[in-house]
């Protein structure tokens, strides 16, 4: 199957302002890209790129004063299969973890392991280590947090989500990641596109999604505490310690976000992709840091 994915961000800046954007499909899906997700700007501006410390593709733009439209529109192949579940995966001992995985055991800006460690051990120490323990964490977080766009906050951390018991998908991911790290399970934050395929209508307004990956059984596994069921059409954009590392757009100055649109739609079988303007409803999304949906 093929997915058409993309976004449109419209900002207004009072002065020239640097921006860092993590908006490209992750290299792990490079072989699936049918039509590339080139970032375009209106007005046309120079764009430079680099790799961050986690291997994500980053874009740098100097926004002029006034209105700036940022967009990508691409087509990507997908297996059409739901997220893999391997219940037999066991938990790796800390001393056996690869060195590049160890950083995902540590606390980070939005994942305060020191505040939630005692709570995590009280809740999950009785669960068998490995996949079952991570799934138990996801089950708990899914029940504990009530999803509500109106309660989205850019400064809410895992401890805040635990106490507030409300938020959006990044809050679910941060709390689950923190509980995993407290239980000596490496966990990293993921952001990207997520289609509505396989879910019943009505569908919400398009947005970027946040989930996480846990290291168990010698490799990374996908978990989604917000939805807490295997989903179809998940397209990774970036990974990091938490939402601070993988903000869709980080702006270094005052600005107003006038419009925010995201689409992840299945293309009918046999349709030849012809990209152009796509009608979407604006969503009240935060672009720095992280994803909401």
Domains of the chain: 2-80+246-267 (2.60.40.2250), 94-240 (3.10.620.30)
> In this predicted structure, what is the pLDDT of residue 150?
86
Q: Are 16 and 243 in contact (CB under 8 A)?
A: no
pLDDT in the model for residue 282: 33
CA dihedral sign, ordered 120, 124, 129, 132: negative
Q: Spell out the per-residue pLDDT of the chain, length 293, in tens.
A: 999 999 999 999 999 999 999 999 999 999 999 999 999 999 999 999 999 999 999 999 999 999 999 999 999 999 999 999 999 999 999 999 999 999 999 999 999 999 999 999 999 999 999 999 999 999 999 999 999 988 889 899 999 999 999 999 999 999 999 999 999 999 999 999 999 998 888 787 889 999 999 999 999 999 999 999 999 999 999 999 999 999 999 999 999 999 999 999 999 876 656 565 554 433 323 344 455 56
Report the pLDDT value the prediction gives residue 201, as an integer from 0 to 100: 82
**Res 203: pLDDT:** 80
Q: What is the pLDDT of residue 283?
A: 32
pLDDT of residue 92: 96
pTM: 0.92
């Amino acid at each position: 199957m093929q997915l058409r994915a993309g976004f449109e961000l419209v900002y207004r800046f009072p002065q020239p302002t640097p921006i860092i954007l993590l908006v490209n499909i992750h290299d792990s899906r490079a072989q699936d890209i049918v039509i590339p997700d080139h970032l375009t700007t209106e007005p046309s501006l120079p764009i430079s790129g680099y790799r961050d410390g986690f291997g994500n593709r980053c874009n740098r733009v100097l926004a002029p004063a006034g209105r700036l439209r940022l967009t990508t529109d691409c087509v990507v192949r997908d297996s059409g299969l739901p997220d893999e579940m391997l219940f037999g995966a066991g938990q790796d001992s800390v001393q056996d973890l690869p060195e590049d995985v160890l950083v995902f055991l540590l606390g980070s800006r939005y994942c305060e392991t020191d505040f939630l460690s005692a709570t995590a051990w009280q809740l999950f120490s009785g669960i068998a280590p490995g996949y079952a323990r991570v799934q138990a964490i996801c089950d708990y977080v899914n029940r504990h947090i009530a999803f509500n766009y109106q309660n989205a906050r850019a400064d809410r951390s895992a401890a805040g989500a635990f106490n507030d018991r409300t938020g959006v998908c990044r809050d679910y991911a941060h709390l689950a990641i923190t509980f995993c790290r407290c239980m000596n399970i490496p966990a990293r934050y993921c952001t990207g596109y997520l289609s509505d395929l396989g879910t019943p209508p009505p569908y919400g307004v398009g947005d970027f999604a946040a989930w996480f990956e846990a290291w168990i059984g010698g490799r990374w596994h996908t978990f989604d505490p917000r939805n807490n069921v295997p989903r179809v059409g998940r397209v990774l954009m970036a990974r990091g310690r938490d939402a601070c590392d993988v903000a869709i757009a980080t702006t270094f100055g005052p600005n107003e976000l006038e419009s925010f649109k995201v689409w992840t739609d299945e293309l009918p079988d046999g349709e030849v992709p012809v990209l152009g303007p796509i009608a979407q409803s604006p969503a009240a999304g935060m672009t720095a840091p992280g994803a909401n949906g």
